[in-house]
Structure 1
Amino acid sequence: MGKSEMFEDFNFKLVVIEAVLDKEPLFLKELTDLKDKYTNNFEWYSGAGPIVEIKDYLEELTLEMSDLEKIESLCFDGGNEIYHILKPDWDGEDSLFDVLSVEGFQNLKNLKTVDYISMCDPQVLEPFKQAGIKIED
């Protein structure tokens, strides 16, 4: 399966990436290096979009099954670290990272729960419910 085909919605891929950030994913060093390189020169509160180099990296990132297997829970929350890696001054007050589809969640074989706080309309989470994954809000 191609890297761009695993998840239909890039913003959902960000939720998945967030879920493995504290589980020593294979890509952590590369992402940390990019973050250190580009956030130090970030023009805060300039109205700029996400850091292009980090966004490009995350879009092209192939998530390995060994990392995906570590995921038992996802959290849909505007306070997730991944959003502030991409856009350090993001305040969560717009729809920049809203999830429109969770298609591809089937790749998360060990997913058991989803914490829903924000970042999508509740109906977007219906496929989780249909698959027997518990939604907590």
Structure 2
Amino acid sequence: MTAFRDFDFKLLVVEKLMYWDRTLTPPFSMSAYMRKKKGVTSLYDYVEDNGLAYTVLDEARDFFERLHIGDELLATVDTLVLDGGHQVYMECAPVWDGEDDLSDVRSLDDLPLLPNLGRIIGADSCGIDVPGKHETLAARDIAVD
């Protein structure tokens, strides 16, 4: 089984495959999950009432950490986009505003899992907090915008 080292890097891959390409199915919905498992009718109220704003919910972390992504799907990823408004982030941290480093990638050790990755959009402005990121990406012929 493919194991990611950086949870937030995996979330970028999940965003691409699950919410953009719709090839990793079914799409995960935190609202539906919490309604079914815990009877939560308002995810926003649940998060606020339990002091969970601006954090990744344990249930989402568990789901996405356990989520298997096969090599054949990983090979289809040619572009990743860094954007604080991704659907996967709303599923993980429903009231997060994308304005801090909650979902920053802190390691590029997972790059070999994406053999056809050729471009990362947004890496210049935000989202990857890795010293030497430009050199690492350039060494793999990954364009950065």
Could you say which residue in structure 2 is the equivalent of 1:126? Answer: 135
Q: Which amino acid aligns with 2:34?
A: Y
Could you say which residue in structure 2 is the equivalent of 1:81? Answer: 87
Structure 1 window deviating more from structure 2 (45-54 vs 89-98): it is 45-54
Equivalent residue of 1:31, what SS?
A: coil
Could you say which residue in structure 1 is the equivalent of 2:7? Answer: 10
Could you say which residue in structure 1 is the equivalent of 2:73? Answer: 67
Mapped partners of 2:26, 2:31: distance in 1: 10
Mapped partners of 1:30, 1:79: distance in 2: 17
Q: How does 1:1-137 map to 2 (within 5 A)?
A: 2-3=1-2, 6-21=3-18, 22-26=20-24, 28-29=25-26, 31-32=28-29, 34-38=30-34, 40-44=41-45, 46=48, 47-48=51-52, 49-116=55-122, 117-121=125-129, 123-136=132-145
The two structures, once aligned, show a CA RMSD in angstroms of 2.2
Mapped partners of 1:42, 1:35: distance in 2: 6
Structure 1 window deviating more from structure 2 (126-135 vs 41-50): it is 41-50
Mapped partners of 2:62, 2:69: distance in 1: 14
Q: CA deviation at 1:8?
A: 1.7
User: Unaligned stretches of 5+ in structure 1?
Assistant: none
Equivalent residue of 1:114, what SS?
A: strand
Q: Decide whether the 8 Å contact of 2:31 with 2:43 is kept in 1.
A: no
Mapped partners of 1:131, 1:101: distance in 2: 15
Equivalent residue of 1:19, what SS?
A: helix
Equivalent residue of 1:119, what SS?
A: coil
Q: How does the TM-score come out when normalised to structure 1?
A: 0.81
Q: CA deviation at 1:125?
A: 4.7
Q: Call closer, same or farther: CA 1:128–1:60 in 2, change over 3 Å.
A: same
Q: CA deviation at 1:30?
A: 5.8
Q: Which amino acid aligns with 1:131?
A: R
Q: Percent identity?
A: 27
Q: How does the TM-score come out when normalised to structure 2?
A: 0.77
Q: Which amino acid aligns with 1:37?
A: Y
Mapped partners of 1:23, 1:84: distance in 2: 17
Q: CA deviation at 1:135?
A: 0.7
